[in-house]
């Protein structure tokens, strides 16, 4: 285990903070860790009764391109629970609500330098609701069947790690089964 000796905040933003920590290694040596502290997030895999999965496409400045992603967002509203955040994000990003919610699990997205942990949900029994995207967000929403998702993955259009993990946890086969042709 590593032991924190001191911690210095070097940046405080709207959604996360960055710290520079001095830590003692098990052998006694000191080193530095740069850490992004994040309040956590939710990722939603919206599945229609016919099996189609709803993805949203939005421009990601860091990637320099639009990406197909599962609806997702930060736990940034005081007093809001994780499931309530997932419901809010599904409505904001996809214009949908769900009657049935299943927690699939949670995972650290970048544990080498960030403590963000995303909780994944499968949302089913979908129906439309009013979409209220944040002022700095714009989404294209599209349902995809299994074949279309496999094409997106094999063509390199699915590049978002949280989306790939969420789809895998929801049991969506993104790789063609050996010997099976359409």
**134-171 tens-digit pLDDT:** 666 677 999 999 999 999 999 999 999 999 999 999 99
Rounded to 5 degrees, φ, ψ at 61 are -55, -45
Tell me the percentage of the chain whose pLDDT exceeds 70. 93
Q: pLDDT by residue (tens digit) across 53-76?
A: 999 999 999 999 999 999 999 999
Q: Are residues 80 and 149 in the same domain?
A: yes
Residue 99 lies in a domain: yes
97 and 9 within one domain: no
Respond yes or no: is residue 84 known to be catalytic: no
Looking at the domain assignment, is residue 177 inside a domain?
A: no
Q: What is the extent of the structural domain holding 79? A: 41-104+116-169
62 and 143 part of one domain? yes
Residue 139 is predicted with a pLDDT of 77
Question: Does residue 45 sit in the same domain as residue 27?
Answer: no
- Angstrom distance (rounded) from CA 152 to CA 175: 11
Exactly one of 93, 137, 157, 176 is catalytic; which is it? Answer: 137
Residue 68 resides in a domain: yes
H or E element at residue 164: helix 161-169
Q: Do 95 and 67 belong together in one domain?
A: yes
Number of structural domains found in the chain = 2
Is residue 47 located within the same domain as residue 99? yes
Query: Are 64 and 23 in the same domain?
Result: no
Q: Are 53 and 46 in contact (CB under 8 A)?
A: yes
Q: In terms of domains, do 71 and 57 share one? A: yes
């Amino acid at each position: 285990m590593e032991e924190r000796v001191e911690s210095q905040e070097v940046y405080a933003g709207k959604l996360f903070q960055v710290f520079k920590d001095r830590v003692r290694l098990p052998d006694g040596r000191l080193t530095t860790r740069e850490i992004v502290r994040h309040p956590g997030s939710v990722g939603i895999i919206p599945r229609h009764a016919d099996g189609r999965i709803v993805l949203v496409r939005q421009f990601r400045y860091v990637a320099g391109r639009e990406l197909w992603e599962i609806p997702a967002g930060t736990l940034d509203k005081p007093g809001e629970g994780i499931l309530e955040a997932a419901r809010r994000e599904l409505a904001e990003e996809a214009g949908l609500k769900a009657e049935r919610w299943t927690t699939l699990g949670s995972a650290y997205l970048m544990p080498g330098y960030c403590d963000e942990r995303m909780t994944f949900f499968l949302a089913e029994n979908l129906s439309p609701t009013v979409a209220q995207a944040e002022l700095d967000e714009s989404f294209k929403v599209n349902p995809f069947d299994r074949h279309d998702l496999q094409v997106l993955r094999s063509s390199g259009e699915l590049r978002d790690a949280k989306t790939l993990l969420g789809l895998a946890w929801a049991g969506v086969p993104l790789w063609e089964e050996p010997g099976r042709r359409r």
